[in-house]
Chains A and B, each alone.
Chain A
Amino acid sequence: MYLSREEESIYQGERGETLRRMMEILVALGDIYGAEKLVPVRSVQIAGVSYKNIGEAGLEWISDLQGQVVVPSILNPAGMDLCRWKEMGVEEEFALKQQQTIEAYRRLGVTIDCTCTPYQIYQGPTSLAGRGDHLAWSESSAVSYANSVIGARTNREGGPSALAAALVGKTALYGYHLDENRLPSHLVEVEADLRGSDYGALGFLVGRSVKDGVPFFRLKNQQPSGDELKALGAAMAASGSVALYYVENATPEPPAAWQPKETIRLGRKEIDEVYAKYPVAGADAVALGCPHCSGQELEKIAGLLQGKKVQKELWICTARKIAEAHPHLVATIEESGARVFCDTCMVVSPATERFSRMMTSSGKALAYLPGLAGVQAGLGSLEECIDVALGRRQ
Chain B
Amino acid sequence: MEIKCHRIASGSARGQSLVTRDAISFLGNVDANTGMVVDPAHELFGQCIAGKVLIFPGGKGSTVGSYVIYQLKKRGLAPIAMINIRSEPIVAVGAIISGIPLVDRVEEEILQVKNGTLVEVDADLGLVRISEWID
- Seen from chain A, the residues whose Cβ lies within 8 Å of a Cβ on chain B are 21, 24-25, 28-29, 31-32, 47-48, 53-58, 60-61, 158-161
Contacts and interface: CB of A to CB of B under 8 A. Distances in A.
B99 A29 contact: no
Given A29-B89, A31-B6, A31-B8, A21 B96 contact: yes
Interface stretch (B38-46, B48-56, B61-69, B125-133): B61-69
B71 interface: yes
B66 A160 contact: yes
B71 A28 contact: no
7 contacts: A24-B9, A28-B93, A55-B64, A57-B70, A60-B71, A60-B74, A161-B93
Contacts of A48: 67
A21 B93 CA distance: 9
- Interface size bucket, B side? 20 to 34
B92 interface: yes
B10 interface: yes
Main secondary structure of the interface of B (DSSP, over half): helix
A54 B64 contact: yes
B9 A58 contact: no
B93 A53 contact: no
B93 A61 contact: no
Contact of A24 (B64, B87, B96): B96
B19 interface: no
A24 B102 CA distance: 12
Contacts of A54: 64, 67
A129 B62 CA distance: 28
Contacts of A158: 63, 66, 89-90, 93
Contact of B71 (A32, A57, A160): A57
B64 A32 contact: no
B85 interface: no
B63 A57 contact: no
Contacts of A60: 67, 70-71, 74
B3 interface: no
B5 interface: no
Main secondary structure of the interface of A (DSSP, over half): helix
Given A25-B96, A60-B74, 10 more contacts: A21-B99, A24-B96, A29-B89, A31-B8, A56-B71, A57-B67, A60-B70, A158-B63, A158-B90, A160-B66
Given A24-B10, A60-B71, A158-B66, A32 B87 contact: yes
CB-based closest 8 A-B pairs = A57-B67, A57-B71, A58-B67, A158-B63, A28-B92, A160-B93, A24-B96, A61-B70
A189 to B, nearest CB: 35
Contacts of A47: 63
Contacts of B71: 56-57, 60
A157 to B, nearest CB: 10
Contacts of A21: 96-97, 99
B64 A61 contact: no
Contact of B32 (A29, A57, A161): A57
Contacts of A160: 66, 93, 96-97
B88 interface: yes
Interface string B88-108: 111011001101000000000
Contact of A61 (B8, B10, B67): B67
Given A21-B99, A24-B9, A160-B97, A32 B67 contact: no
A25 B64 contact: no
A99 to B, nearest CB: 18
Nearest to B90: A158
Given A60-B71, A158-B89, A53 B97 contact: no
Contacts of A53: 64
Contacts of B66: 158-160
A55 B67 contact: yes
A161 B97 CA distance: 10
A158 B93 CA distance: 9
Contact of A58 (B64, B74, B92): B64
A21 B99 CA distance: 8
> Which of A21, A53, A57, A161 has the most CB atoms of chain B within a 10 A radius of its CB?
A57
B44 to A, nearest CB: 20
A271 B70 CA distance: 44
Contacts of A161: 89, 93
A323 B96 CA distance: 39
A48 B97 CA distance: 14
A161 B93 CA distance: 8
B8 A57 contact: no
Contacts of B68: 57
A235 to B, nearest CB: 21
